[in-house]
Structure 1
C-alpha cells in the first residue's frame, strides 16, 4: 500500500512538472509575441514605403513618355508654324540628343556626387525651365535650345528611376514592367496639334506635370542617397554583395564589361525605334497614306501597344523565358513593320503599328531585368543608369537621322530603316546572351 501511494504521488508530481513546463513555454511565447508583431509591422512598413517610392518613380517615367510621345503629333504643326523642312525640324531631336548624351554621362557622376534624391529633383527642375520657355512658342532656335535642357533632365530621371527599381527588394521584375508601362503617349497632344496658333500651350501641361514630379520626388525621397533609402536598418538580403569599391575603380569595372556595351547599344537602338516610329509615323501616315488630322492617334496607338505589352505579356515572358522572348518579339515586330511598309492601307497600317508596339513593349523591362543577372550586384545601379541613359540618346539621334534621310529620299525611308535597326538589335542581344553564358562557364 505504501508503494502504491508513493507511485501515485510520483505521477502527480510528474504532471505538475509537465504543467509547469507548458506554463513556462506559454510565458516564453507571450514574451516573444511582441517582437514578432513588431517584425511583421516593420515588414509592412517597408512594403508600404517601397510602393510609395515606386509610384513616385512611375510619375517620372510617365512624364518621359508624355514628352517623347507628344513630339510626333506636334511635328507637322511645328513644321507649318515655323515653315521648316524635314532636316530643319529634325534639329529638335538633335538638340534633345545632345542633352540626352550629357545627361547620360552625368547620371553616374551625379548619383555619386549629390545622390539619388537630389538628382531626381534636378532633372525635374530642368524640365520645368524648358517647358516654360517652349510654351511661349519662341523663335525656333530658342525652342530647340531648350529641347537640349529638357533632354538633359529626362535622361537623368530615366536613368535614376530605372536603376533604383532594378535593385528594389520586392518584385523588381514586375515593377520594372509596370514602371515602363506608364511610359505612354497622351492623346491630348493631337488635340493641341489641331490648333494653329495654340499648339505651344501643350507645354504648359507638360510644365505642370514636371512641377508635380519635382514636388513628389522631393517629398518622398527627401534628397537622400540611394544607399540610405534602400538600406532598411543596415539589413542586407542573402547573397548581396558587400564589396565596397572606390569611385575610380567602380567606373573602371563598369566600363570594362563587354556585356554592358552590348546592352547599352541594344537599348540605343530599341529606344531609337520607339521614338523614331512615334515621332515620324504621323508624318508617314499623312504623306504616304493620305491620313487626315487624326493621324496623330496612330502614334498614340503605338504607345498604347507599348504600354499593354509591358503588362499583358508578363505571363508569356515567364513561360517562354525572357531571353528567348526578345528573339520572338523582334521577329514579330519585323514582320509587322514590313506590313506597314508594303501594305498601302491607312487602317491596316495603323493596326499593324499598334500591334508592333505591343510586342516591342516588353523588351525594355526584360533587358533591365536580365541586366541584373548579367552584371554583378554591386555594379548594377551604375550600370543600369548608364544603359538607360545611352538608350535615351537613341530617342533623339535616330529620329534626327530619319528626318535627314527623309529630306533626301522622302519619308518612305521610315519602315526600311526600322527593319534594319531591329536586325542589328537582335544581333546585339545574341552577343550579350553568349557573353553572359561564357562568364558563367
Structure 2
C-alpha cells in the first residue's frame, strides 16, 4: 500500500491506493522526470490536468489559483472510493491568503447590509421628495428582486467561467455603478430600475461568499462573523442616514456619497484578494462527485434528493430575509405612524433591531453548533415569534423598541445556520450551485415581502406589518422542520 497526498484548493485528501505498475510514457512530449512517474501518471490522468503552479506547505500540495487555462470542462471525479479518506477543511487563516480573502468578504457584507438597511431609514424622505404613496414607494423593495433572480441563475455559471475572481469583480462593480446613479437623484423610474443592479451585486456575493465560508472548519462561527458584519453595515446605514437627513440637514441622496466610497474600496479589496481564484482553479477544486452530467444548477434544483434540500433552504431563506428586511424597512414608518414616535427615535429603533441581529449572529454563532443547527433554530424561531406577539399586542413605544431588538438577536443566526445545513446535506460539487441559488433566491424576500406590506398598508394602514411578519415566521419554522436530519461536518 502506498499513500498519495492530493490537495485541491485548500483541502487535503489522503487516499490509500494499490500500487499501479505502468510502463513509463512521455507526457506533453517530455520524458518522465523520475523513476516514480509510472506510478503517478495514471493517477494524474484520472484527476485531470493539475494546475501547473503549486507550492508545498506542511508536506501537502496547495493548488494555486493560477490553474491551467486549458481546462475548461466540468469534469467528474473518477477515482474509486478510497479505503481510507480524510478531508481537512480549509480555515479562515489557512492557507494564509484566506485571512485576506475573509477580510474582503467581511467588508463586502458591510456594504450589503448598509444597502438593505438604508431603504427603511430613507423611505419617509423618499416619499416626501418624490410625492409618492406607500404602494409606489414600495417599488424600491420590489425591483431588486430582478437582480437577485438573475444572481440565483448566473452564480454557478460565473464560478465555472471566471471563478471567484468574477464574483469579486462583478458584485462590487454593480454596487459602485448603482450608488453613483442613485447619488445623482434621477427621476423615480430610473431610481427603481437601478436598485435592481444593486440587488444583482448583493445576490452574487451573498451566494458565493456564503458557500465559500460554509465549507470552512468552524463554519457556524465564521459565518456568524460574516453575517455579523452584514448586521454592522445595517446598523451604521440607518444611523448615518437618519443623522444626515433628519430635519432636512442634507438631501436624502447625500447618504449614497458614503456608499460610493464604500463600494470603491470593496471593488479594490475583493478583486485583489480573489484575483488568482480563476475559473480553472474552481473547476479543479470542485469536480463532480456523482455520476450525473449536465449543468450543476439543474442537478441542484431539479434532481432528487438534492432538490428537496435546495428548495427547502431557499424558501426558508426567502421567508427569513423577508422578515428581516420587512421589519427593518417598515419599522421606522410604523413607529412614527402607529406608535407616534419622533423621527430620530423611530430611526434608533431600526438601529436597535439591526444591532440585535449583529450581536445575535456573533454570540449565538458559538451556541448553535454545540446545540445542533436543527434544534437551535427550532428554538430560536418560536422565541422570535413570542417577541413579535409582544411587539404587536403591547402598544407602547419603548416596549416595542426592546422587543424588536431582542427579536433581532434571535433572528440573527438563522441565515448562517441555513447555509451550514445546506453544506452538510449536499455533496460538495453542488455547494456553490445550491447555496448560491438559495442565498440569492432568499434575497428575493428582501424585495417581495416589503413590497407586499407597502401595498397592503396603502389600503389598511402600516399596522398590517405585525400579523404578516408573524405569519412569515411560522411558515419559516415549518420549512425548517421539514429539512432532513442534519449530521455533523468534520472540522
| TM bucket normalised to smaller | 0.7 to 0.9
Aligned match for 2:364, one of 313, 326, 330: 313
Q: Report the CA distance between 1:148 and its aligned residue.
A: 1.1
Structure 2 residue runs of 5 or longer lacking an equivalent are: 1-54, 63-89
Establish whether residue 288 from structure 1 lines up as the match of residue 338 from structure 2: yes
**Cα distance in 1 between the residues matched to 2:283 and 2:481:** 33
The aligned residue for residue 136 of structure 2 is: 88
Asked whether the 8 Å contact 1:166–1:381 carries over to 2, the reply is no
Establish whether residue 193 from structure 1 lines up as the match of residue 224 from structure 2: no
Establish whether residue 211 from structure 1 lines up as the match of residue 264 from structure 2: yes
Map 1:79-228 → 2, pairs under 5 A: 79-168=127-216, 170-184=217-231, 185=234, 186=236, 187-194=239-246, 196=248, 197-222=250-275, 224-225=277-278, 228=281
Query: Is the alpha carbon distance of 1:246 and 1:49 closer, same or farther for their aligned partners in structure 2, counting shifts above 3 Å?
Result: farther
Query: Is the alpha carbon distance of 1:48 and 1:66 closer, same or farther for their aligned partners in structure 2, counting shifts above 3 Å?
Result: same
Structure holding more helix per residue: 1
Asked whether the 8 Å contact 2:384–2:407 carries over to 1, the reply is yes
The aligned residue for residue 454 of structure 2 is: 403
**Cα distance in 2 between the residues matched to 1:155 and 1:308:** 23
Query: For 1:114, what is the secondary structure of its paired residue?
Result: helix
The aligned residue for residue 102 of structure 2 is: 54
Query: For 1:344, what is the secondary structure of its paired residue?
Result: coil
Q: Report the CA distance between 1:396 and its aligned residue.
A: 0.9
What RMSD in Å do the two structures reach over aligned CA positions? 2.5
* 1:406-435 C-alpha deviation (Å, 9 max, x unpaired): 01110010010000001111111111136x
**Cα distance in 1 between the residues matched to 2:247 and 2:180:** 19
The aligned residue for residue 114 of structure 2 is: 66
Asked whether the 8 Å contact 2:181–2:194 carries over to 1, the reply is yes
Asked whether the 8 Å contact 2:139–2:451 carries over to 1, the reply is yes
**Cα distance in 1 between the residues matched to 2:272 and 2:370:** 39
Aligned match for 1:413, one of 464, 474, 482: 464
Q: Report the CA distance between 1:245 and its aligned residue.
A: 7.0
Q: Report the CA distance between 1:119 and its aligned residue.
A: 2.2
**Cα distance in 1 between the residues matched to 2:227 and 2:283:** 21
Establish whether residue 382 from structure 1 lines up as the match of residue 433 from structure 2: yes
**Cα distance in 2 between the residues matched to 1:220 and 1:246:** 33
Q: Whose RCO is larger (CA < 8 A, sep 6+)?
A: 1
The aligned residue for residue 29 of structure 1 is: none
**Cα distance in 2 between the residues matched to 1:322 and 1:47:** 27
Query: Is the alpha carbon distance of 1:143 and 1:37 closer, same or farther for their aligned partners in structure 2, counting shifts above 3 Å?
Result: closer
Asked whether the 8 Å contact 1:167–1:381 carries over to 2, the reply is no
Asked whether the 8 Å contact 1:337–1:419 carries over to 2, the reply is yes
Query: Is the alpha carbon distance of 1:427 and 1:245 closer, same or farther for their aligned partners in structure 2, counting shifts above 3 Å?
Result: same
Q: Report the CA distance between 1:83 and its aligned residue.
A: 1.0
Higher alpha-carbon Rg: 1
Asked whether the 8 Å contact 2:112–2:230 carries over to 1, the reply is yes
Structure 1 residue runs of 5 or longer lacking an equivalent are: 1-34, 235-239
Establish whether residue 252 from structure 1 lines up as the match of residue 298 from structure 2: yes
Q: Report the CA distance between 1:183 and its aligned residue.
A: 0.7
Q: Report the CA distance between 1:287 and its aligned residue.
A: 0.3
Q: Report the CA distance between 1:118 and its aligned residue.
A: 1.5
The aligned residue for residue 289 of structure 2 is: 243
Most deviating of 246-255 and 93-102: 246-255
List structure 1 segments (4+ residues) > 3 angstroms apart after TM superposition. Answer: 35-47, 244-247
Map 1:16-27 → 2, pairs under 5 A: none
Structure holding more strand per residue: 2
Query: Is the alpha carbon distance of 1:203 and 1:246 closer, same or farther for their aligned partners in structure 2, counting shifts above 3 Å?
Result: farther
Q: TM-score, normalised by structure 1?
A: 0.84
Asked whether the 8 Å contact 1:267–1:364 carries over to 2, the reply is yes
Query: For 2:263, what is the secondary structure of its paired residue?
Result: helix
Asked whether the 8 Å contact 1:254–1:260 carries over to 2, the reply is yes
**Cα distance in 2 between the residues matched to 1:48 and 1:394:** 36
